[in-house]
Amino acid sequence: AQSVAQPEDQVNVAEGNPLTVKCTYSVSGNPYLFWYVQYPNRGLQFLLKYITGDNLVKGSYGFEAEFNKSQTSFHLKKPSALVSDSALYFCAVRESMIKAAGNKLTFGGGTRVLVKP
Amino acid sequence: GAVVSQHPSWVICKSGTSVKIECRSLDFQATTMFWYRQFPKQSLMLMATSNEGSKATYEQGVEKDKFLINHASLTLSTLTVTSAHPEDSSFYICSPFVQLAEGYEQYFGPGTRLTVT
């Protein structure tokens, strides 16, 4: 069974400082990894994904994430955080991108990011 | 990008009544629809998976007679919460799984906040 862990419930960072949101995963095969952001009372917004290729993935709003197979991690990073980055961030994993029975996206518990001015 | 709409965005209903939530894909067709539920400050939990024209597959612990899912067309799926109770108050998010020319993608609706009084 696949699983995702986000060890931090909340991350506090000062505006302008680097932001890191941690994620580790467990799958039986090759992972397909995703990061989403959610603002209050809103749906999920896609930030970036890793399917294959370069381990460093660049996404929306200046975010990037690095796939580390040996550590089974996919941490989200932003070099300089903005107050507007304050939101709830979800890491997710699936084992396949092929439409098939049992192919589901599993979410981590979420990490609340608070960027203080 | 793909546009997914949900209606209503907010709904308040009395205990014992039923509520229908519509999810529409506005510029694409989705043969598979996932429905998620999100309690406050928690992650998304998959409720059920439906394929157009067939019965939905429910996750363990989700009552199929309480949460009725209809996926009658490739652009419309509905979730009906029957005989709602206060513990059904939650944020419901639909998520179409789409086949594109370059592969598959999973999108998310903006969510529906249900409050049962």
Q: Touching check for B83 and chain A: CB below 8 Å?
A: no
Give how far B101 is from chain A: nearest CA, Å: 13
Q: How many residues does chain A have?
A: 117
Give the residue-averaged pLDDT of B5-20.
96
The per-residue b/e assignment along B10-45, b for 16 or more CB within 10 angstroms, e otherwise, is ebebeeeeebebbbbbeebebbbbbbbbbeeeebbe
Query: What is the overall mean pLDDT for chain A?
Result: 91
Does residue A105 surpass a pLDDT of 60? Answer: yes
pLDDT for residue A97: 62
Tell me how close the Cα of A96 comes to any Cα of chain B, in angstroms.
10
Render pLDDT for B61-87 as a digit per residue (tens, 0 to 9).
999 999 999 988 889 999 999 999 999
| Helix-then-strand count for chain B, H and E | 0, 11
Q: What is the pLDDT of residues A61-98, one digit of tens each?
A: 999 999 999 999 999 999 999 999 999 999 999 877 66
Name the percent of chain A lying above pLDDT 90.
74
Which of B9, B51, B104, B114 is the best residue to mutate to test the A interface, defined by the most A CB atoms within 10 Å of its own CB?
A: B104
Nearest partner of A36 among A91, A86, A74, judged by Cα: A91
Interface of A with B in 70-99 (CB under 8 A): 90, 97-99
CB contact under 8 A, A43 and B34: no
